């Protein structure tokens, strides 16, 4: 025989499944019912996460409640921070805290992000050195490398940077070169996302797309000129034209390289990583334009 749920559980169940004509009032009622059932336990954290998913799913449907969604998100992040800060110190916990910090930064919760940074430092300092640290960092690196491109650029940058900084703390704790290398790669990827964000802010999404399309088209043109020069035995006049075409295309590549270099947050690192492939091949052709 099935027993009836307690009154507070029944009320919570009704709120979670009934239609919400007034999202703001529903959020407030959910919060009151949740505290009556779970207080500050881990269950409260899970209930807040469910509430956040429900609100996010209905975010685009009228009537919208951006204030309710933001409030629910902040409350869930604070609960998640508290649960993780009280968890046994492990590499997975430190990296989960980094994820919470990234989400807090992405939504502008600076105070919450600072609390996360303090919790990360405290937890990382207590993690027992072991090979599991390298494995956990490698798994997070793989996850970010394959499943982050669908996020907005700002969230990509904060996720990569926060995870990279946490990985470096864990690498220092475990004296792991592999974890440190992955952490630095995450930080470089975060800087590259910041470059993409600055390019989009400066030129717009259509402008960035046009630059990328032009780069690809001119690369094909350069390859065609090289093929024509090697395979067709061109006349001196045609060879001169091909050199001009190649030089003008490489001038565009050079200008694009300089613009990205100026906008990149870590210019030295970016220059060393891209000079050999993007700068050096273009310089000889551009010199053709000089008198």
11-58 pLDDT, tens digit each: 656 655 665 556 666 666 666 665 555 555 555 555 555 555 555 555
Cα 246 to Cα 98, 237, 253, distances in angstroms: 47, 14, 11
- What is the DSSP annotation of 100-157? HHHHHHHTT-HHHHHHHHHHHHHHHTTPPP-HHHHHHHHHHHHHHHHH-TTS-HHHHH
Query: Which residues, at least 6 apart from 78, have a Cβ–Cβ distance to it below 8 Å?
Result: 112
- Residue-level pLDDT at 152: 84
- Contact between 186 and 161 under an 8 Å Cβ cutoff? The reply is yes
* The total number of residues written for the chain in this structure: 291
Q: Output the pLDDT for position 107.
A: 82
Q: Answer with the residue of higher pLDDT: 197 or 8.
A: 197
What mean pLDDT comes out for the span 131-147? 88
Domain that residue 12 falls in: 1-49
Q: What is the pLDDT of residue 30?
A: 63
108 has pLDDT over 50: yes
Q: Give me the pLDDT at residue 209, please.
A: 95
Mean pLDDT value of segment 159-183 = 93
Model pLDDT, residue 55 = 52
Residue 179: inside a domain: no
* Confidence at residue 253, expressed as pLDDT on a 0 to 100 scale: 94
Q: Is the pLDDT of residue 290 over 60?
A: yes
Given a cut of 70, is residue 134 above it in pLDDT? yes
d(CA 37, CA 239): 81
Q: What is the mean pLDDT of the chain?
A: 82
DSSP state of 232: S
Does residue 257 fall inside a structural domain?
yes
Q: Report pLDDT for 218.
A: 93
- Give the range with max mean pLDDT: 119-123, 145-149, 277-281: 119-123
Domain-embedded: residue 236: yes
Instruction: Encode burial over 95-119: b for 16+ CB neighbours within 10 A, e otherwise.
Output: bbbbbbbbbbbbeebeebbebbbeb
The Cα 46–Cα 52 span in angstroms is 10
In a domain, 164, yes or no: no
Query: According to the model, what pLDDT value does residue 2 have?
Result: 47
213 in a domain, yes or no?
yes
pLDDT in tens, 252-269: 999 999 999 999 999 999
Lowest model confidence (mean pLDDT) among 45-49, 108-112, 145-149, 280-284: 45-49
Does 226 map to a domain? yes
Q: 48 or 226, which is more confident? A: 226
- Alpha-carbon distance 59 to 53, whole Å? 10
Q: Quick one: pLDDT at residue 77?
A: 84
In a domain, 138, yes or no: no
Q: Examine residue 108 and state whether it is found in any structural domain, yes or no.
A: no
Which of 48-57, 68-77, 109-118, 170-179 shows the lowest mean pLDDT across its residues?
48-57
CA distance 59 to 61: 6
Task: Name the burial class of residue 150, with classes exposed (0-12), middle (13-18) and buried (19+) by CB atoms within 10 angstroms of its CB.
Answer: exposed
Confidence of residue 78 (pLDDT cuts 50, 70, 90): confident
Number of folded domains that form the chain? 2
């Amino acid at each position: 025989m099935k027993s009836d749920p307690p009154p507070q559980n029944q009320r919570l169940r009704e709120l979670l499944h009934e239609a919400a004509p007034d999202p703001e009032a529903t959020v407030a009622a959910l919060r009151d019912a949740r505290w009556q059932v779970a207080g500050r336990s881990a269950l409260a954290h899970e209930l807040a996460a469910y509430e956040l998913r429900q609100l996010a799913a209905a975010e685009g449907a009228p009537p919208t409640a951006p204030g309710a969604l933001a409030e629910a998100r902040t409350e869930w992040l604070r609960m998640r921070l508290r649960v993780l800060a009280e968890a046994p110190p492990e590499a997975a916990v430190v990296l989960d805290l980094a994820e919470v910090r990234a989400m807090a930064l992405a939504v502008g919760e600076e105070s919450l992000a600072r609390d996360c940074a303090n919790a990360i430092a405290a937890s990382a300092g207590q993690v027992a050195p072991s090979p599991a640290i390298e494995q956990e960092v490698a798994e997070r690196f793989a996850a970010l490398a394959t499943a982050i491109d669908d996020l907005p650029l700002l969230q990509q940058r904060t996720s990569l940077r926060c995870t990279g900084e946490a990985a470096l703390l864990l690498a220092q704790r475990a004296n792991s070169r592999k974890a440190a290398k992955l952490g630095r790669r995450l930080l470089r990827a975060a800087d590259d996302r910041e470059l993409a964000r600055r390019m989009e802010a400066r030129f717009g999404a259509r402008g960035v797309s046009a630059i990328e399309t032009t780069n690809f088209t001119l690369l094909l043109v350069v390859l065609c000129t090289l093929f024509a020069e090697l395979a067709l035995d061109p006349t001196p006049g045609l060879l001169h034209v091909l050199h001009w075409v190649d030089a003008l295309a490489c001038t565009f590549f050079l200008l694009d390289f300089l613009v990205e270099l100026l906008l990149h947050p870590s210019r030295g690192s970016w220059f060393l990583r891209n000079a050999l492939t993007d700068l050096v091949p273009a310089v000889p052709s551009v010199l053709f334009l000089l008198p």
